[in-house]
Amino acid sequence: MRRRPECRPLLLRGKGLYPETVKKFQLGYCLNTRDAFAKTAISKGYNLEYLQKLGLVTMRYEQPADNYRGRVIFPIHNQSGKILGFGARILGKADKAPKYINSPENEIYYKSKVLYGTYFARHSIDKLDECLLVEGYTDVISLHQAGVENVVASSGTSLTQDQLRLIRKYTNNLTILYDGDAAGVKAALRGLDMAVEEGLNVKVVLIPDKEDPDSYVQKIGADAFRQFIADNKQDFVIFKLQASLVDAGSDMNKKSKLVSEIAETISKINKTEGFTRQQEYIRQSAEILKIDEEGMTQLVNKFIREKMTKLEKELTKNKNPDYDVPEEDLPPIPEEYLDDTSNIALFNPHEKQEQELVKILLRFGQKQFSEEDNSSVADYIFHLPYDFESLSDNEMVKRILHEYKAEYDKGNMLDSRWFLYHSDPEVVKATTVIWKIKKRN
């Protein structure tokens, strides 16, 4: 889309932006009149319906009027440089009007799937193997002007999975730059568990109080700004722990809740290469929280098992006969393995989640888990950073998992019949019990 008619490039003197920067980002300005833009756009053949969908024009008293009058216009580009929508910042005092307004979502613009500045930053992110994330449009533009170009903006919203996957296309290293006030600290914690789960190495940098990336880079210069980032990066998990611990104070209930929150965050590190990092997080967290390291490990494993249970439920929402063995084909469960209430006696009740993990592998191991890389459910499970030895105390569960993993490592993808018709009758019994538990739960 071309630059909007009558939205002339504007030198934002208060922000110190140069004309070439304004031109690069295609910044514009909508005159502070009722309908100057609307009249000009319509006279040049722009479709009124499309102008409304983009938020550029609104209808007042059945007449088209400028929606962004008196505002600086920030075109929002996709990865290939095409304009999807607009952000608009009011000049002067906002009074009752919002400081920023944005294009409404439509057929081509989905805010949750876009990061401002990606088109201009993508090559630098790839080259430096790091993405800096800020909040606002002017933060991105000022940093680019200063020569710090590996930066994009979330536009003040919590990060979404689509945005995180967009970052991951270029790098696994994400550094969040936030204002150092209380609001900035809280903002830094939003959505970052999801970033950890996506496999990103997340760092946090707090800009000094009463500054933002825009003002701070202008104050100290690009070289000093880069050095400040390098010197002040904090690991997200430890940052979250320490910031939340300060907030909890002496409140034991808050501290107890914090222990669970941190354990859940650590459990989301789901890449094989993250296993050592996960163990180090457990060690550091236990030390900071002054709790037993083994207890922290067990809590992390609890969240991993719960995730497996949830995964099994999601996979079975739309039952697929290709992954189920018909009831009539199952070996019978010996009576001695059933008590008088029809509960399975072969396993202890607290081992239900371990059984669920085995069941997921047996029923869905070959099924596609991720459309992005054609990975299977077995790929996902065996790339989780847990140790089978600590996950379950049941020797039969361990045996089934280890045998499945051994064949998986050889490139063989087992199905349920491998274990349901195993040469060892004890394995057959255990597998059949696990398989039929779903009928009785």
Please report, for residues 24, 253, 310, the alpha-carbon distance to residue 305 in angstroms, rounded to integers and kept in the order given. 50, 24, 9
Structure tokens at 195: 């970033």
Of 135-144, 346-355, 360-369, 428-437, the range with the highest mean pLDDT is 135-144
User: Between residues 223 and 4, which one has the greater pLDDT?
Assistant: 223
| Nearest-5° Cα angle at 156, 225 to 20 | 55
Query: Which DSSP category does 135 fall into?
Result: S
Q: What is the pLDDT confidence band of residue 416, given thresholds at 50, 70 and 90?
A: confident
Instruction: Kindly tell me if the per-residue pLDDT of 383 is higher than 80.
Output: no
User: Between residues 274 and 206, which one has the greater pLDDT?
Assistant: 206
User: Between residues 210 and 338, which one has the greater pLDDT?
Assistant: 210
Looking up tokens 């952000």 gives: 87
Average pLDDT over residues 244-260: 87
Instruction: Kindly tell me if the per-residue pLDDT of 316 is higher than 90.
Output: no
- pTM higher than 0.75: no
Average pLDDT over residues 63-91: 92
Q: What is the pLDDT confidence band of residue 166, given thresholds at 50, 70 and 90?
A: very high
Instruction: Kindly tell me if the per-residue pLDDT of 75 is higher than 80.
Output: yes
Question: What is the reported pLDDT for 115?
Answer: 95
Structure tokens at 315: 């996979």
Is 248 in contact with 255 (CB distance < 8 Å)?
A: yes
Instruction: Kindly tell me if the per-residue pLDDT of 95 is higher than 80.
Output: no
Question: What is the reported pLDDT for 391?
Answer: 57
Q: Percent of the chain having pLDDT more than 70?
A: 76
Average pLDDT over residues 405-411: 83
Is 75 in contact with 26 (CB distance < 8 Å)?
A: yes
Q: What is the pLDDT confidence band of residue 96, given thresholds at 50, 70 and 90?
A: confident
List, for residues 33-74, the tens digit of each pLDDT value: 999 999 999 999 999 999 998 889 999 988 999 999 999 999
Q: How far is CA 265 from the centre of its chain?
A: 12
Of 12-16, 111-115, 317-321, the range with the highest mean pLDDT is 111-115
List, for residues 124-136, the tens digit of each pLDDT value: 999 999 999 998 8
Q: What is the pLDDT confidence band of residue 29, given thresholds at 50, 70 and 90?
A: very high
Is 344 in contact with 354 (CB distance < 8 Å)?
A: no
User: Between residues 233 and 274, which one has the greater pLDDT?
Assistant: 233
Question: What is the reported pLDDT for 36?
Answer: 93
Instruction: Kindly tell me if the per-residue pLDDT of 159 is higher than 80.
Output: yes
Average pLDDT over residues 248-277: 82
Cα separation, 74 vs 68, whole angstroms: 11
Cα separation, 110 vs 134, whole angstroms: 19
DSSP 412-440: ----HHHHHT-SSHHHHHHHHHHHHHHHH
Sign of the dihedral defined by the CA atoms of residues 315, 313, 419, 417, in that order: negative
Question: What is the reported pLDDT for 59?
Answer: 92
Instruction: Kindly tell me if the per-residue pLDDT of 120 is higher than 90.
Output: yes
Helices in 28-135 by DSSP H: which ranges? 36-43, 48-53, 118-128
**Average pLDDT in the chain:** 79
Cα separation, 310 vs 264, whole angstroms: 14
Cα separation, 193 vs 204, whole angstroms: 13
Q: What is the pLDDT confidence band of residue 426, given thresholds at 50, 70 and 90?
A: confident
Q: Percent of the chain having pLDDT more than 90?
A: 33
Instruction: Kindly tell me if the per-residue pLDDT of 355 is higher than 80.
Output: no
DSSP 90-118: E-S--TTS-SEEEPPP-SS--GGG--BTH
Structure tokens at 63: 């007449």
Query: Which DSSP category does 4 fall into?
Result: P
User: Between residues 57 and 370, which one has the greater pLDDT?
Assistant: 57
List, for residues 384-395, the tens digit of each pLDDT value: 655 555 556 677
Instruction: Kindly tell me if the per-residue pLDDT of 321 is higher than 50.
Output: no
The amino acid that residue 276 corresponds to is T
